[in-house]
Chain A
C-alpha cells in the first residue's frame, strides 16, 4: 500500500496527542526523561543489556561469546547450552509455585478443569518418558495443531523435554496450510486434537490431517487428543492417554545448544507463508524478559485470548507465563457463544488479573457489549494488553473507560463516570521479532499512555521510523525499522527476510508514525501482505490455491471496520467458478480467516 493513499482522516483515527496516566499506575510510572535514559543506555550497550537479561535464565553451560556475525546473520550466546524444560517449568520443582494452578481450562459449555504446576510437572515427565518409546528425539520437528488445551500443554512440555523443536499451526488454517508447514519442517511428529466446539459447532481437525497425511511419508507419529469423539482412524496414531501410561524413568532432559532451533513460525509474505526459526537461547531470553516487563508475575492469573499458531499465542501463552509461574486461563471456544459476555464471565469467575487480546476482538466486543459489562465485576484486572494490529483511539478509549474502570474507586477513578483505572496497553509484535518490541511496560519503564499508540520502543530494541531516504522521520508516515539485531533474530528464514535487511537495517514491512517522544503508531503494511484480524495473510497463498482453478484472479486489499483489513476477490466470469465454491476451497484449504469479504465476477 502506498502511504499517500492513507488519508488524514484515517491517520486521525489512530494518532493521538493526548497522554493519560491510569490511576493504578500513578505511583509506578517513570518520567519520560527517565525512560529515555534507560532506553538510550540499553541501545548504546545493547549487547551487555541482553547479556544481563540472558543471565536471568538457567544455563547448563554459560556462553563465552555474546554475539557473532552482523545484521541478519547475527547469532547470540552461541556456545551456551540450555535445558529449555527446566527454564519453562522444571525450575519450580519443590517451590511454592508447585501448589498453585498452572492452567485453568474452560470450554463453551462451561466445563472447567484446573491443573496445578505439580501435576503439570509430573504428567509432562511421564509423557516425555513415553515419547522416548516412540523415537521422539533431539533434532526432530513437531507440529502442534490444537486449540489451547491442558493436554496440548502437557505434550508440548514432553516434546520440549526431549529436545524437539516445535511449530504451532493455528487451528483456523485449512489442510493446505497445514500440509505446507509439515512439509517445510519435515516434521516427524504431529500433535492434533481431534476437534473442538466453537460457537456451538464441532470443528473437525482430524479430517484435515486425514486429507494430507497419505502424501507425507516422513511423519512417524500422530499424537491425538480426543475431545469430540471423531470416528476417524489414521495410521501412526498414538492416543494422548497412551502417553500417560508409564513412569518418568526415561525422561532425562535434553540439553540443547543456544543456537539450536526451538520454535518456528510461517510468516505471511507477498507470495506465500514462509518459515522462520527462532533459536533456543535468544528466544527464551526475549520471551522471559518481555513477559516480566509486560506485567506478569507468579501470582498473576492471566487470560490470553490469542490462540497458538500466532506469535502472541506461542510466546505469551506456552512460554512466557509458564516461565514466570503465572496461572494461565485457556478458553476453548468462540468469544460470542452463547453470548458476547463470555470473556467478561471468565475474567470474573477466575479473578483474572491480566487480560491479553487483539484489537479486532475488542472492536467486535465494543459493537455487541457496551452495557452488559456493567453486570460483571472485573476489579481484579490490573492491566489489559492489546496486540497484533493498529488500534483506533476510539477503541482504546472504549476499553479504558468501559472495561478498565471497574466497580471500586481507585485513587481518583470514579466508576460511575467511566474515568478509567487500569492501564490499557497496546503492544507491537511480529513473528520475525518473536516477542513484543514496543509498548508501555507495566513492570519496567511505564510512561504515560497515548490512546491508539503502541507506545515507545521496549529497551533493547533499536526501533525507528524512516522515510524513503532512510532518514528518521517524526510525526509523518514512514517505515517501521529495527537498526540492530535482537537476540531472537531468526536463525533460519526466507530470502524475503534477508532482503528486508538489504539497507543495513530490518524493515518490518509496517507503516508507522513516531512522534517526538518516540511513541509509535502502526498503520498497516507497506507491502501487499494483508493484515486481517491482526494476522498477516499472504495474498500469494490465496492466489496459488485459486490459480489451480483459474488464472484470472486479482486480490484487492480493502479496509474493514472490524478486522482492520480484508480483501476483494476479482475473478473472470470465464472461469465458470461459483462464489460458494470459491469460498469453500479458500475456507477448507487455507482457512476461514482468509475468506474474502467480497467476490466480484467481471467479463
Chain B
C-alpha cells in the first residue's frame, strides 16, 4: 500500500486479490471501488486485463447490494458521502465497497462516509478479519467516523488507508486500538 492511496493486494491460496491497484500484473482478481485517479489507473492501462476486473463501472459489471458467489463470496457494498461540500464528489451508485469472504472475511469500504447500510454487515457476516478503511475525511470517513465503524464491526485487524495527514492516522489509531488491532502498513 502506498501512502495516500487506497490500493491493497491480498494473497489467498496462490490467488492475488487486488483492490484499487494501479499495477495489475500479479493480480488474479482486480476490484475497483470507483474511477477516481488514486484508485483507478484508467481504461487504457487495463486494456489487457478486462476479464479479471470486477466493478460497478468497468470490466465484469457488478451491482450494488448484491452477493456474488464464484470461488469466494463477494458482497458489493454501497458507498457515498452525504456531508461533504461537493455532493458530486462521492455520489450514490458511483462507487462501491467490497466484502470478500474466503476462509476469512475482508472488507474494503471504498471511498465512503459512515452510512447506515454498513450497520447491516454484522448480520450478514459473522466476523470481519481485516477491515481496510479510509480515514482522511473530506468525502470519506473522518478518523472519528472510521473509529465508530471499528467499534461497531469489531474487526480482528483494521488497516487505515487513504490518508496523508499523519495526525489523522494517530487520532484514528488512538480512538480504535482498544477495539481492534490497528495495523499501520
Q: Which residues of A contact B (CB under 8 A)?
A: 99-101, 104, 112, 114, 116, 299, 301, 327, 348-351, 353, 377, 379-380, 407-408
**Is B127 engaged at the interface, CB distance under 8 Å to the other chain?**
yes
Cβ contact within 8 Å between B181 and A350: yes
Cβ contact within 8 Å between B174 and A379: yes
In the assembled complex, the CB of B130 is this many whole angstroms from the nearest CB of chain A, namely 9
Cβ contact within 8 Å between B183 and A114: yes
Cβ contact within 8 Å between A100 and B177: no
In the assembled complex, the CB of B29 is this many whole angstroms from the nearest CB of chain A, namely 22
**Is B182 engaged at the interface, CB distance under 8 Å to the other chain?**
yes
A349: B residues at CB distance < 8 A: 183-184
**Is B154 engaged at the interface, CB distance under 8 Å to the other chain?**
yes
**Is B173 engaged at the interface, CB distance under 8 Å to the other chain?**
yes
Cβ contact within 8 Å between A351 and B182: yes
**Closest CB pairs A-B (n = 9):** A351-B177, A349-B184, A101-B181, A377-B170, A351-B182, A99-B156, A299-B178, A99-B127, A116-B156
B127: A residues at CB distance < 8 A: 99
Cβ contact within 8 Å between B154 and A351: no
Cβ contact within 8 Å between A99 and B154: yes
Q: Of A104, A116, A327, A351, which contacts B173 at CB under 8 A?
A: A351
Cβ contact within 8 Å between A407 and B156: no
Q: Of B154, B174, B183, which contacts A380 at CB under 8 A?
A: B174
In the assembled complex, the CB of B146 is this many whole angstroms from the nearest CB of chain A, namely 14
Q: Of B156, B173, B178, which contacts A101 at CB under 8 A?
A: B156
Kindly state the separation between the CA atoms of A44 and B184 in the bound complex, as whole angstroms: 49
- Given A99-B127, A377-B170, A407-B170, do A301 and B156 touch, yes or no (CB 8 Å)? no
What are 12 A-B pairs at a CB distance below 8 A? A99-B127, A100-B156, A112-B185, A114-B156, A116-B156, A349-B183, A350-B182, A350-B183, A351-B174, A379-B170, A380-B173, A407-B170
In the assembled complex, the CB of A417 is this many whole angstroms from the nearest CB of chain B, namely 20
Beyond contacts A301-B177, A380-B173, A408-B174: 15 other A-B pairs, Cβ-Cβ < 8 A, are: A100-B156, A101-B157, A101-B181, A112-B183, A112-B185, A116-B129, A349-B183, A349-B184, A350-B182, A350-B183, A351-B174, A351-B182, A353-B177, A377-B170, A380-B174
Question: For window 17-61 of chain B, which residues contact chain A by CB distance below 8 Å?
Answer: none
Kindly state the separation between the CA atoms of A377 and B170 in the bound complex, as whole angstroms: 7
Query: Interface size bucket, B side?
Result: 10 to 19
Kindly state the separation between the CA atoms of A100 and B154 in the bound complex, as whole angstroms: 9
Between B157, B178, B181, B182, the greatest number of chain A beta carbons within 10 A of the residue's beta carbon is seen for: B181
Kindly state the separation between the CA atoms of A350 and B159 in the bound complex, as whole angstroms: 10
Between A104, A327, A377, A407, the greatest number of chain B beta carbons within 10 A of the residue's beta carbon is seen for: A377
Kindly state the separation between the CA atoms of A431 and B183 in the bound complex, as whole angstroms: 34
B 102-141 binary contact with A (CB < 8 Å = 1; else 0)? 0000000000000000000000000101000000000000
A380: B residues at CB distance < 8 A: 173-174, 177
Cβ contact within 8 Å between A104 and B181: yes
Between A100, A112, A379, the greatest number of chain B beta carbons within 10 A of the residue's beta carbon is seen for: A100
B156: A residues at CB distance < 8 A: 99-101, 114, 116
Kindly state the separation between the CA atoms of A408 and B175 in the bound complex, as whole angstroms: 13
Kindly state the separation between the CA atoms of A408 and B157 in the bound complex, as whole angstroms: 25
In the assembled complex, the CB of B106 is this many whole angstroms from the nearest CB of chain A, namely 13
In the assembled complex, the CB of B162 is this many whole angstroms from the nearest CB of chain A, namely 17
B 146-164 binary contact with A (CB < 8 Å = 1; else 0)? 0000000010110000000
Cβ contact within 8 Å between A100 and B181: yes
Kindly state the separation between the CA atoms of A585 and B129 in the bound complex, as whole angstroms: 49
Kindly state the separation between the CA atoms of A379 and B173 in the bound complex, as whole angstroms: 10
A379: B residues at CB distance < 8 A: 170, 174
Kindly state the separation between the CA atoms of A124 and B23 in the bound complex, as whole angstroms: 38
Using CB atoms, name the residue of chain A closest to B180.
Answer: A100
Kindly state the separation between the CA atoms of A99 and B157 in the bound complex, as whole angstroms: 9
Using CB atoms, name the residue of chain A closest to B173.
Answer: A351
A114: B residues at CB distance < 8 A: 156-157, 181, 183
In the assembled complex, the CB of B41 is this many whole angstroms from the nearest CB of chain A, namely 26
Kindly state the separation between the CA atoms of A301 and B127 in the bound complex, as whole angstroms: 20
Using CB atoms, name the residue of chain B closest to A379.
Answer: B174
In the assembled complex, the CB of A481 is this many whole angstroms from the nearest CB of chain B, namely 42
In the assembled complex, the CB of B83 is this many whole angstroms from the nearest CB of chain A, namely 27
Kindly state the separation between the CA atoms of A349 and B156 in the bound complex, as whole angstroms: 16
Kindly state the separation between the CA atoms of A377 and B185 in the bound complex, as whole angstroms: 15
Kindly state the separation between the CA atoms of A101 and B129 in the bound complex, as whole angstroms: 10
Using CB atoms, name the residue of chain A closest to B103.
Answer: A119
Kindly state the separation between the CA atoms of A408 and B166 in the bound complex, as whole angstroms: 14
Kindly state the separation between the CA atoms of A407 and B178 in the bound complex, as whole angstroms: 19
Kindly state the separation between the CA atoms of A380 and B173 in the bound complex, as whole angstroms: 8
Kindly state the separation between the CA atoms of A104 and B178 in the bound complex, as whole angstroms: 16
In the assembled complex, the CB of B142 is this many whole angstroms from the nearest CB of chain A, namely 18
A353: B residues at CB distance < 8 A: 177
- Given A99-B156, A100-B156, do A348 and B184 touch, yes or no (CB 8 Å)? yes
Using CB atoms, name the residue of chain A closest to B170.
Answer: A377
Kindly state the separation between the CA atoms of A348 and B174 in the bound complex, as whole angstroms: 11
B166: A residues at CB distance < 8 A: 377
Kindly state the separation between the CA atoms of A408 and B184 in the bound complex, as whole angstroms: 19
Kindly state the separation between the CA atoms of A71 and B110 in the bound complex, as whole angstroms: 65
In the assembled complex, the CB of A377 is this many whole angstroms from the nearest CB of chain B, namely 5
In the assembled complex, the CB of B166 is this many whole angstroms from the nearest CB of chain A, namely 8
Cβ contact within 8 Å between B181 and A301: yes
Using CB atoms, name the residue of chain B closest to A353.
Answer: B177
In the assembled complex, the CB of A373 is this many whole angstroms from the nearest CB of chain B, namely 15
Kindly state the separation between the CA atoms of A111 and B166 in the bound complex, as whole angstroms: 22
Using CB atoms, name the residue of chain B closest to A351.
Answer: B177
In the assembled complex, the CB of A7 is this many whole angstroms from the nearest CB of chain B, namely 46
B154: A residues at CB distance < 8 A: 99
In the assembled complex, the CB of B43 is this many whole angstroms from the nearest CB of chain A, namely 34
Kindly state the separation between the CA atoms of A350 and B170 in the bound complex, as whole angstroms: 11
Using CB atoms, name the residue of chain B closest to A116.
Answer: B156
B181: A residues at CB distance < 8 A: 100-101, 104, 114, 301, 327, 350-351
A408: B residues at CB distance < 8 A: 174
Using CB atoms, name the residue of chain B closest to A101.
Answer: B181
Kindly state the separation between the CA atoms of A116 and B127 in the bound complex, as whole angstroms: 12
In the assembled complex, the CB of B184 is this many whole angstroms from the nearest CB of chain A, namely 5
B184: A residues at CB distance < 8 A: 348-350
Using CB atoms, name the residue of chain B closest to A299.
Answer: B178
Kindly state the separation between the CA atoms of A351 and B154 in the bound complex, as whole angstroms: 16
Using CB atoms, name the residue of chain A closest to B183.
Answer: A350
A348: B residues at CB distance < 8 A: 184
In the assembled complex, the CB of A287 is this many whole angstroms from the nearest CB of chain B, namely 24
B178: A residues at CB distance < 8 A: 299
In the assembled complex, the CB of B28 is this many whole angstroms from the nearest CB of chain A, namely 21
In the assembled complex, the CB of A284 is this many whole angstroms from the nearest CB of chain B, namely 27
Kindly state the separation between the CA atoms of A10 and B117 in the bound complex, as whole angstroms: 66
A101: B residues at CB distance < 8 A: 156-157, 181
